[in-house]
A and B are shown apart, each in its own frame.
Chain A
Amino acid sequence: MACAGIANPNGWASPVVEEGILVTQIDEGELSAFTTPTGDSLALNPTARLWTYPGGTDDDDGVDLKAIYATPLIDGGIVYVAGYSGQVVALTLQNGRPVTSWGGPVDIAERIVATPALHGDVLYIATEVGRLHRLDASNGTRVATPVDIGGRIWAAPYADARGVYVAGIDRDFVAIDGSSGQSRWSRDIGAVAGDPIAVGGLLYVPAFDRRVHVLDLTADGAERWPDGGRGDAWFWSSPLIEGNTVYAVAVDGSVYAFDRDTGALRWRTIAASSDEVRAAPVLQSNVLMIATRDGDIRGFNPTNGTLLWVEHVSGERFYADPLVLESGLVIFTDEDGGLWRVDPSSGNTQPFLESS
């Protein structure tokens, strides 16, 4: 059945690299770390795995992340992980052991899909029941009572000195005072499930109203593209900002290039068949790449949208955002946690690390 698996959460956390360590969800609900991949395949280097969490030790008793949708957040040698089960843990990047000052996982008891945000010492965690929790990043204690936003929150909150910005799938984008939790302003921009991207005081927000919204955080969220950024299907994946162009992929697989100042359409490709795309686009070696739920990886010319190549990975689904390693390797993660290395020039796709 085509819908097999839709009722079971698998998680689509994107892999991250910090201090030469790649952290990824290779098995459902488990986080693994590998030494910096330098070769062609991590699978060829069995000693590359540094740690796995939970790893079956006594310390990990009672830890059940269930599935990981939120991309692990790494700051100052600490990995903050939020599981779909509602548990939040802080791990030492080098060895994967829980940070002692946290005293074990913090159970929020609400499902977590959104990637947490960190600003100063406060870790902002948005949940599926529409609440924003504020934890002290150093010890995991609650800084203040949770703020009710309403609706399910799947998009990562964004925090800066002015406050925290949260978008839910209940069609409201809300700016909150970080310390008091009071709402500063809100914008009705349609349901938002994809992570907004902040650049230069502007927040680029993909929305289900078939638009990419650009909100000016310095002007109470004033819309900077009142007439631009329009597509023909939901925008779920995060947009990619490169030079003076904003690339966005709609869930039906159509790719759009918008003028960064006005949101005017520069070019668009129409998907041959209705795909489901959640993964963000990536630009490497002058090739714009997207990955679909049906297992397609496609390369486009970023200047005019011409399709350069299509690779199909049989039996795999791509939801997670891709990663570009320092070496220039482009990594896509499949639904089961397997990593795939893609050559931007030819589209040649090879297994990089297989899920167990």
Chain B
Amino acid sequence: MPIGFLWQTFLETPLINFMVLLTVVSFGSYGLAILLFTFITRVITFPLTMRTMRSTRAMSELQPQLQEIQKKYSDPRRRSEETMKLYRESGVNPIGCLGSQLLQFPLFIAMYQVIRTTLGGTPEGVLYLESRIYDFDMLGGTQFLHDSVPLSTNFLFLDLSSTGYSPTSITFMLLVFASMWLQQRISTSRTKPASDQQQQMNQMMQWMMPVMFAWFVVVVPAGLGLYWTATTIIGIVLHWIFLGPGDFTWGSIVPQQLRARLVPAAATASASTNKSGALLDGADATTEQESSDGANSGDQRRRRRRSRRTGAQQPGSQSRSSRRRRRQRR
């Protein structure tokens, strides 16, 4: 059987009908249907995502040993053998973190076809859509799927069927770029590159993938931009919850040159705050630039902040309301 037929029959057409169904349950809003679809696919692929994240975490935990191997063995073959041995002994699959991404690609391609078809951007498209909708007869002979198309292409102030340099497409182009850049930045923040080559590769991926997908969004219907933005943001949230931000700090988003200009000002500001008796210790005065140098320093800072908020707080620094609460409990 030709692969195109299988793809259409078992993936594309069911997804088209599912999207139409979701639009019906989303009160006719195609934008909400895309968001709902994104959420559902994220729930379905959650076990795979978790596996990927466990693998990522395990990889980051092996970083010190990996770096040691890098230093210890100059022969690339030996180095590779030792690295594989380490992976084997630790039960880590180095390509385990690719599983979720591999599934994302066919989904993205299928979603491209589905959104292009269901939105019916051109009159020919709507005619074609009709032939792809299942004939579900409800009670009273109502074919609710057929009756609900053509779908409205408007979502908030956006036209999800638009392509090219329309305001909607540009909006999603920026959103996709920003969210993907952030995702790449956060996902590479847990592991220190083993070599300069890997660092260069990471940096290239950091920019190349967002640029590539942002360009896709301009040439395809804007609805796909909504899907990709939503799925990327969910990915960021999941990463943040289950793996933490690594050495990522919001300050590190600011370009280095700009940061260098801002840092003296920030340092002066923190010094004056210390004089006025605020809670800042030496660690708080650490600049964002410094913190981004060490692996997991973002995590460390988070832990420090958390401990400060809980038991590690100095008696003298307790607020009046918390002292009052303690007295009441006694």
A residues at B contact (CB < 8 Å): 1-3, 5-10, 12, 69, 113, 151-152, 154, 169-170, 190-191, 193, 208-210, 233-234, 236, 251-252, 274, 276, 278, 293, 319
A2: chain B residues at CB < 8 Å are: 8, 128
Query: From residue A209, how far is it (CB to closest CB) to chain B in Å?
Result: 7
Contacts of A169 in B (CB 8 A): 126, 150
| Contact between chains at B122 and A6 (CB < 8 Å) | yes
Contact A69 B123 (CB under 8 A): yes
Cα distance A191–B8 in the bound complex, in angstroms: 27
Q: List 23 A-B contacts (CB under 8 A).
A: A2-B128, A3-B117, A6-B116, A7-B116, A9-B122, A9-B123, A10-B124, A12-B124, A113-B123, A151-B152, A152-B153, A169-B150, A190-B147, A193-B123, A208-B146, A210-B143, A233-B146, A251-B127, A251-B130, A276-B127, A276-B128, A278-B127, A319-B124
User: Within the assembled complex, what's the spacing in Å between the Cα atoms of A249 and B126?
Assistant: 17
Name the residue of chain A whose CB is nearest to the CB of B120: A6
Residues in A neighbouring B282, C-beta threshold 8 A: none
Once the chains bind, are A1 and B150 in contact (CB under 8 Å)?
no
Q: How many angstroms between the C-alpha atoms of A236 and B122 in the bound complex? A: 15
Using A7-B122, A170-B152 as known contacts, say yes or no to A236 and B127 having CB atoms under 8 A apart: yes
Indicate if the CB atoms of B150 and A152 lie closer than 8 Å.
yes
Which residues 137-162 in B have Cβ within 8 Å of A in the complex? 143, 146-147, 149-150, 152-153
Bound CA span A169–B152, Å: 9
Q: Tell me the nearest residue of chain B to A275, going by C-beta.
A: B131
**Which A-B residue pairs are the 5 nearest by beta carbons?**
A6-B125, A9-B122, A6-B128, A169-B150, A276-B127
Interface residues of B in 1-29 (CB under 8 A from A): 4, 8
- Bits for B112-124, please: 1 = Cβ < 8 Å to A, else 0: 0100110001111
Q: A209 to B148, alpha carbons, bound, how many Å? A: 10
Q: Which of A6, A10, A193, A252 has most chain B Cβ within 10 Å?
A: A6
- Decide yes or no: A1 and B4 within 8 Å by CB, A6-B117, A276-B131 being known contacts: yes
**B122 nearest CB neighbor, chain A only:** A9
Interface residues of B (CB under 8 A from A): 4, 8, 113, 116-117, 121-128, 130-131, 143, 146-147, 149-150, 152-153, 163, 221
Complex formed: what's the CA distance from A170 to B154 in Å? 12
Bound state CA distance, A208 and B145, in angstroms?
Answer: 12
Query: Given A1-B4, A151-B152, A276-B131, A234–B123 Cβ distance below 8 Å?
Result: no
B113: chain A residues within 8 A (beta carbon): 3
* CA of A270 to CA of B279, assembled, Å: 82
Q: Which of A6, A152, A190, A208 contacts B124 (CB 8 A)?
A: A6
Q: How many Å lie between the Cα of A191 and that of B129 in the bound state? A: 14
- Smallest distance from the beta carbon of B312 to chain A beta carbons, Å? 59
**Alpha-carbon separation in the docked complex, A114 to B131 (Å):** 22
Given A6-B117, A12-B124, A210-B143, 18 more contacts at CB 8 Å? A1-B4, A3-B116, A6-B124, A7-B163, A8-B122, A9-B122, A151-B152, A169-B150, A170-B152, A193-B123, A208-B150, A209-B147, A234-B130, A251-B127, A274-B131, A276-B131, A293-B127, A319-B127
Contacts of A293 in B (CB 8 A): 127
Instruction: Please give, as numbers and ranges, the residues of chain B lying within 8 Å of A191 by CB-CB distance.
Output: 150
- Report B115 CB to chain A, min CB distance, Å: 10
Q: Which residues of B contact A234 (CB under 8 A)?
A: 130, 146
Bound-state Cα–Cα, A3 to B120, Å = 11
B116 contact set on A, CB distance < 8 A: 3, 6-7
A113 to B125, CA, bound (A): 13
